[in-house]
């Protein structure tokens, strides 16, 4: 019974391609996130959604477009992939927004752009 | 000054040792504090929340010092399985729904047999 699940686990693609990562949580949480962890292991928030509404967009290039069809799902579509997009992308959810409750992470999507 | 700052380590300690990590944060209005653990090539997992009065969970003790704006994590009787990166997490509290959790860069702990 995985609480936060994301697919795929690994994604290898060429520059210029478009790819999507899917995320689902069964915790009943209202808030979901995308975080990026770069090669230096620094974990940085990209987006947060609360009940399908975009709350935080952390000045991410508009090649990245999140979509939340319902509060249990938050997908991430990336257009025109660049070498610098290579990283591990983590989906997460929390019971409350605003950083007051802890995050539950998915197991990550390791994206490699060649 | 970084929003959340940690000593990256590595901390190399023998089994059974006691080890302590500190973390400083810049936003004096921060209200929520957590320690996460991340194993190599895995997702971060919540280790414990940090409460104002300090709290303990088995071999792990977390402390908060609001005046000096730091939190600490103490691990007693280290086990090999404690080897991981420990992430300090603080909420950036400027009011409202756009508050978010900020992660430190992590402290690497390696427990040696």
Tens digits of per-residue pLDDT, A36-56? 999 888 899 999 999 888 988
Are A90 and B32 within 8 A, CB to CB? Answer: no
Residues A21, A11 contacting (CB under 8 angstroms): yes
Residues A72, A23 contacting (CB under 8 angstroms): no
Instruction: Determine the Cα–Cα distance for residues B96 and B100; give it in Å rounded to an integer.
Output: 10
Reply yes or no on whether the pLDDT at A78 is more than 70: yes
Q: Mean pLDDT, to the nearest integer, of A11-24? A: 97
Instruction: Determine the Cα–Cα distance for residues A90 and B26; give it in Å rounded to an integer.
Output: 25
Are B103 and A43 within 8 A, CB to CB? Answer: yes
* Residue A55 with chain B: CB contacts under 8 Å: 97-98
Counted across chains A and B, CB pairs separated by less than 8 A come out at: 59
Burial class for B23, CB neighbours closer than 10 Å (0-12, 13-18, 19+): buried
Percent of all residues in chain A with a pLDDT value above 70, rounded to a whole number? 98
* Residue B89 with chain A: CB contacts under 8 Å: 102-103
pLDDT in tens, B53-100: 899 999 999 999 999 999 999 999 999 999 999 999 999 876 666 778
* Residue B92 with chain A: CB contacts under 8 Å: 99
Distances (CA, A) of A11 to A7, A87, A107, B94, B104: 9, 10, 14, 36, 26
Are B99 and A100 within 8 A, CB to CB? Answer: yes
Q: Mean pLDDT, to the nearest integer, of B14-32? A: 94
Res A97: pLDDT: 80
* Residue B103 with chain A: CB contacts under 8 Å: 42-44
For A91, nearest residue in chain B (alpha carbons): B43
* Residue A100 with chain B: CB contacts under 8 Å: 31-32, 91, 99
Identify the bridge partners of residue A19 per DSSP, sorted by sequence position: A78
Distance from CA of A80 to the nearest CA of B (A): 26
* Residue A101 with chain B: CB contacts under 8 Å: 32
For A97, nearest residue in chain B (alpha carbons): B97
For A106, nearest residue in chain B (alpha carbons): B43
Model confidence at A1, pLDDT cuts 50, 70, 90, reads: low
Res A33: pLDDT: 95
- Mutate which: A50, A102, A112, vs B, most B CBs within 10 A: A102
């Amino acid at each position: 019974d995985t609480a936060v699940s994301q697919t795929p686990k690994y994604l290898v693609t060429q520059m210029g391609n478009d790819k999507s990562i899917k995320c689902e949580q069964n915790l009943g949480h209202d808030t979901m996130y995308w975080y990026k962890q770069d090669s230096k292991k620094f974990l940085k928030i990209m987006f947060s959604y609360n009940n399908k509404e975009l709350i935080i967009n952390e000045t991410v290039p508009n090649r990245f477009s999140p979509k939340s069809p319902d509060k249990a799902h938050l997908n991430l579509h990336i257009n025109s992939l660049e070498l610098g997009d290579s990283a591990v992308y983590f989906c997460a959810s929390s019971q409350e927004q605003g950083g007051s409750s802890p995050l539950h992470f998915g197991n990550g999507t390791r994206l490699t752009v060649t | 000054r970084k929003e959340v700052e940690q000593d990256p380590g590595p901390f190399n300690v023998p089994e059974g040792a006691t080890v302590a990590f500190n973390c400083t944060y810049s936003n004096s209005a921060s209200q929520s504090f957590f320690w996460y653990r991340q194993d190599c090539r895995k997702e971060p997992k919540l280790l414990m929340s940090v409460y104002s009065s300090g709290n303990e969970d088995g071999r792990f003790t977390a402390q908060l010092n609001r005046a000096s704006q730091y939190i600490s994590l103490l691990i007693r009787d280290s086990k090999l399985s404690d080897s991981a990166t420990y992430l300090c997490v603080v909420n950036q509290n400027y009011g409202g729904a756009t508050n978010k959790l900020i992660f430190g860069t992590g402290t690497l702990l390696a427990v040696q047999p």
